Amino acid sequence: MNYNKKTVRDVEVSGKKVLLRCDFNVPQDKETGEITSDKRIVAALPTIQYLLDNNAAVIACSHLGKPKNGPDPKLSLAPVAKRLSELLGREVIFAHDVVGEDARAKAAALQPGQILLLENTRFEKGETKNDPELAKAMASMAELYVSDAFGAVHRAHASTAGVAAYLPAVSGFLIQKELEFLGGAIANPKRPLVAILGGSKVSSKIGVINNLLEIADTIIIGGGMAYTFSAAMGGKVGNSLLEADWMDYSREMIEKAKAKGVKLLLPVDTVCADAFAADANSQVVKAGEIPDGWEGLDIGPETVKLYCDAVADAGTVIWNGPMGVFEFPAFAKGTEAVAEALSRTSAITIIGGGDSAAAVEQLGYADKMTHISTGGGASLEFLEGKELPGVACLLDA
């Protein structure tokens, strides 16, 4: 896939109506509906501000949650419009539909330097089906399409990909940054390239491991999926998370790494517990020697040293997935140590969204990382080498 795409800076925006796809899928309090983190809204500000400063009329749109049967007042973007208005220090006009009378009238009346936010795109049934009629109706309100919702570019929906069939399509600054760092790490990494993969399941990371075996110098495996690798090599894993169906695949990956000269690092010791609980009794055992009735919940101290040494002289590090059960403080030490090691290295450090991003932020290392991805699922598919529909549809630079 070509990662070199045109951005808002490469096109004339002055006096134009711009349909801007943002990622305003923000977490909300279930009771009050109050936004509990406005990070995603803040992330969209540079592109919005650039368009407004350069005399564009901005028609912003986004999805929020997964409405089941059309409009759901609990998933309205009205609270987002209010918060965006506070952050921009100017009125954000809100449309109570996506392509209905209210949206069309407000879009038609919109002047350069003004911003309109459409209602939740998923209130339209055709959104997730990439319905060409819906895409056409959305595109008809504008003269240019700008995509800045990296968290949604792996989905071929009407507002993320469909509209690009009817309008010139370019990226905003957020997507530009993701393409620069993630695209650069895959297409032309500063070596050695070290990939750290954690999380619970091998099955969810197959494509990533496969693709990275072609480009990485070292692959580090942690988290729950390490126990499937351990069992595949004849180890005892007790009650640890195990995907027995993926043991053959794990063996294949070990062989493939050897054949390609890629270092595949697996845990040499494990912190195991007698229950899946924050206050469980724990002990450190060698990898593959977990007693019956116990389960591995974190990498052990020897593994921590091995993994931290591996990133010390890296040129580029990509990290996706925690090393253990990070939500339990007693079993977060492996994840904490890796985050700290990355904060000290001079390598380009790319954190692939999701739990790894949350860990780095919670531990206060966010400002020490080169790039923290805003899209968990999208960054995973990126690392798999898959074509992302919401990126493929943008004009090449």
Task: Please give the chain's pLDDT, 397 residues, in tens.
Answer: 788 999 999 999 999 999 999 999 999 998 888 999 998 999 999 999 999 999 999 999 999 999 998 899 999 999 999 999 999 999 999 999 999 999 999 999 999 999 999 999 999 999 999 999 999 999 999 999 999 999 999 999 999 999 999 999 999 999 999 999 988 888 889 999 999 999 888 888 888 999 999 999 999 999 999 999 999 999 999 999 999 999 999 999 999 999 999 999 999 999 999 999 999 999 999 999 999 999 999 999 999 999 999 999 999 999 999 999 999 999 999 999 999 999 999 999 999 867 888 889 999 999 999 999 888 788 888 888 889 999 999 999 9
Q: Which of 337, 320, 289 is nearest to 223 (CA)?
A: 320
Distance of alpha carbon 300 from alpha carbon 312, whole angstroms: 18
Sheet of 17-21: strand order equals: 92-94, 115-117, 57-61, 17-21, 144-147, 169-171
Beta strands in 65-208, from DSSP E residues, in sequence order = 92-94, 115-117, 144-147, 169-171, 193-197
In whole angstroms, what is the distance from residue 384 CA to residue 182 CA? Answer: 11
Q: Is 260 helix (H, G, I), strand (E, B) or coil?
A: helix
Question: Residue 28 forms beta bridges with which residues?
Answer: 35
Residue for token digits 């898959």?
Answer: 386
Q: How deeply is 8 buried, as exposed, middle or buried, from its count of CB atoms within 10 A (0-12, 13-18, 19+)?
A: buried
Which residue, among 101, 100, 163, has the nearest Cα to 132 in the 3D structure? 163
* Positions marked active-site: 40, 201, 354, 377
For residues 57 and 174, what is the distance between their CA atoms, to the nearest angstrom?
19
- Quick check: helix, strand or coil at residue 219? strand
Distance, C-alpha 343 to centroid of its chain: 20
Name the β-bridge partners of 60: 20, 117
Q: 284 in helix, strand or coil?
A: strand
Query: CA–CA distance from 381 to each of 57, 186, 207, 278 (Å)?
Result: 33, 12, 8, 32
Distance CA 293, CA 59 (A): 57
353 neighbors 371 (Cβ within 8 angstroms): no
What pLDDT was estimated at residue 378?
84
* CA 44 – CA 281 distance, rounded (Å): 45
The tokens 């987002």 sit on which residue? 80
Which domains are seen in the chain, by residue range?
A: 8-173 (3.40.50.1260), 183-383 (3.40.50.1260)
Which of 231, 277, 295 is CA-nearest to residue 285? 295
Please compute Rg for the chain using Cα positions: 23
- CA dist 166 → 55, 76, 169 (Å): 22, 27, 9
pLDDT value at residue 353:
67
- Least Cα distance to 385 among 183, 155, 204, 152 occurs for 183
Cβ pair 45, 23 in contact under 8 A: no
Torsion of CA 96, 99, 100, 103, to 10 degrees: 50
Q: How many helices (H) and strands (E) does the chain have?
A: 14, 17
Nearest CA to 92 among 121, 120, 60?
60
Residue 120: closest CA among 169, 172, 170, 73: 73
Task: Report residue 204 as tokens.
Answer: 């969810």
The CA dihedral of 104, 108, 111, 113, to the nearest 10 degrees, is 30
| SS3 state at 285 | strand
Long-range CB contacts for residues 67-70, cutoff 8 Å, separation at least 24: 67/120, 67/122, 67/123, 70/123, 70/125
Q: H helices of 94-149, where?
A: 101-109, 132-139
